[in-house]
Structure 1
Amino acid sequence: MADKTGTPNKLTEPGLWVERIGGRALPPHLPALFLDRDGTINVDTDYPSDPAEIVLRPQMLPAIAAANRAGIPVVVVTNQSGIARGYFDWSAFAAVNGRVLELLADQGVFVDMVLACAYHEAGVGPLAISDHPMRKPNPGMLAEAGNRLALDLQRSLIVGDKLADMQAGKRAGLAQGWLVDGEAAVQPGFAIRPLRDSGDLGDLIAAIEALGRANRS
C-alpha cells in the first residue's frame, strides 16, 4: 500500500523501511533470528528489482522453520543501496520483498519483520549519507527491531553472506553469527560460524532449538 504520492507507507524515514509481518503477538525479551536477505534468503541477482527473478536459497528454509517452531521471531535486515543509487525505487523493493515473503509462505515458513536501509554515500538527495547508523555494518536496523519487538539482542543470532552482517551483529550486542560460505572466526565477544554445508546448518538449527527450549523453561 502507498500514500497519495505513491511512496510505500512502510517508510519511517526516507531511507528506512520497517514492515511488521503477520502481527502475531510476541512476548517480550525473546531472542531473534536475524537474517540478511539477498544472498542469504534468496539468490542475489545483483540489486534484485524484478519479482519474477527471485529464487529462494533452500538452505535457509530449515533454519526459518526451526525458528517458527521454537517461537523465535525472524527478522530480515537488508541493505538496499540500489535505491540510493537510483537503480530502482521503494515500490520496486516492495514488489520484490512481497515476492520473497510469498515464496517463503509457499514453503510453510514466515518472518515477523522486515527492515531495509537505502542510505548510501553514492546516493542522491536525502539518501546520500555515508556510514548511516542504520546501514550494516552498523547495528541500527537490529536495534530498531529490538526496540519495536522488545527483543533480547544478547541471545539473538544473525545469518548473512557478508562480513558486514557479522559486524552489525557484533555491534548490536549479539554473541554469534553464521556467515554463508564463510570461515569460522572468534572475535572478542562474538563468534563467527561458517554456514557451508548440512553439518553447519545442523549447528545453526541446534542453536535455534536451544533458544526455544530456554524460552520454555
Structure 2
Amino acid sequence: MFAPARPRVRRPRPGPPGGPPPLAAVLFDRDGTLIEDVPYNGDPGRVRPRPGAQAAVKDVRGHGLAVGVVSNQSGVARGLLTRQGVAAVARRVEELLGPLGVWAVCPHDVADECGCRKPAPGLVYAACAELGVDPARTAVIGDIGSDLAAARAAGARGVLVPTPATRPEEIAAAEESAPDLPTAVRRLLDPGRAAFRGPRRGGAP
C-alpha cells in the first residue's frame, strides 16, 4: 500500500497530572471521516474532503502530533478496486489535506477473517508501529462503530464523528463523540479538558 514519508514529530505537550498520557498521534478513518464516502472508489477525481477535514488535520500537525490513516478497503479483495486505485486516492487526499504520516490499509474482505480489518486492532497497531508511537498515546477518529472498536481493542482512544450513515446504536454506544472533525480534534488536543462523552441514548452528539 501507498506509504508517504513519515514527517518529523515534535514532542507532544504534557497532559494534566494524574490524567491520561499525552497524545502522540491521531489516526483518521478515510471514507466518511476525512473524505466523502464513495463506495469502492479508486478514482482520485471523485475525492472530496469532509467538512472541516483540512482544518482538523492541520491542527493536529500544528500541535506536533503524528497523523495517519487507518482504512478498510474490502473492494480490493472483492475485485471492485485495485491497490493502485487505493494508492491514487491516497495521493489525492494528501494533495488536498497535506502529508499524512502513514496509510494503514486492509485489503481483505470480512470472510478472510484477518487481524487487520477494523474492528480488529491490526491497522491501529501497524500505524502506531510505523509512526513509532504507543497505541495508548493515540486517538482514532472515525464515523462508525468499528472504528471505535478497533481503537479500543488496540488500547487507543476512539472518537466518533457521526454522519447520516452512522447507526443510532453506534452513536449511543460511543464513549467519546463530537459533532464535527475540528471539534473532535480541539477536544483531543486540549490536555486540560475533561474527557468528553458520547451522547445519551437517542440523543444527538
| 1:68-147 → structure 2 map (5 Å cutoff) | 68-105=61-98, 110-121=99-110, 129-130=112-113, 132-147=114-129
Equivalent position to 1:192, from 161, 164, 176: 176
1:152 aligns with 2:134: yes
> TM-score, normalising length from structure 1?
0.72
Task: Please say if residues 84 and 118 of structure 1, whose CA atoms lie closer than 8 Å, have aligned partners that are also in contact.
Answer: yes
Count matched residues.
176
Cα drift, residue 98 of structure 1: 1.1
Cα drift, residue 74 of structure 1: 0.7
> Structure 1 residues 144, 27: closer, same or farther in 2, change over 3 A?
farther
Cα drift, residue 69 of structure 1: 0.4
> Structure 1 residues 73, 192: closer, same or farther in 2, change over 3 A?
same
1:171 aligns with 2:164: no
Structure 1 stretches lacking a partner, 5+ long: 1-16, 123-128, 212-217
> Structure 1 residues 146, 203: closer, same or farther in 2, change over 3 A?
closer
Cα drift, residue 79 of structure 1: 0.3
Task: Please say if residues 67 and 101 of structure 2, whose CA atoms lie closer than 8 Å, have aligned partners that are also in contact.
Answer: yes
Cα drift, residue 203 of structure 1: 4.8
Q: How much is the aligned-residue C-alpha RMSD, in angstroms?
A: 2.4
Per-residue CA deviations over 1:151-179 (Å, capped at 9, x if unaligned) read 12113211111100000000010134233
Structure 2 stretches lacking a partner, 5+ long: 13-22, 193-205
Of residues 148-157 and 67-76 in structure 1, the stretch that sits farther from structure 2 once superposed is 148-157
Q: Which amino acid aligns with 1:113?
A: V
> Structure 1 residues 176, 83: closer, same or farther in 2, change over 3 A?
closer
What residue is the counterpart of 1:14 in the other structure? none
Q: Which amino acid aligns with 1:192?
A: E
SS class of match (2:52) = helix
Q: Which amino acid aligns with 2:129?
A: N
1:32 aligns with 2:25: yes
Cα drift, residue 120 of structure 1: 1.1
1:22 aligns with 2:5: yes
d(CA) in 1 for partners of 2:2, 2:94:
14
Q: Which amino acid aligns with 1:204?
A: V
What residue is the counterpart of 1:42 in the other structure? 35
Task: Please say if residues 178 and 204 of structure 1, whose CA atoms lie closer than 8 Å, have aligned partners that are also in contact.
Answer: no
What residue is the counterpart of 2:187 in the other structure? 206
SS class of match (2:33) = coil
Cα drift, residue 149 of structure 1: 2.1
SS class of match (1:133) = coil
> Structure 1 residues 135, 24: closer, same or farther in 2, change over 3 A?
same
d(CA) in 1 for partners of 2:158, 2:105:
22
| Same amino acid, percent of matched pairs | 30
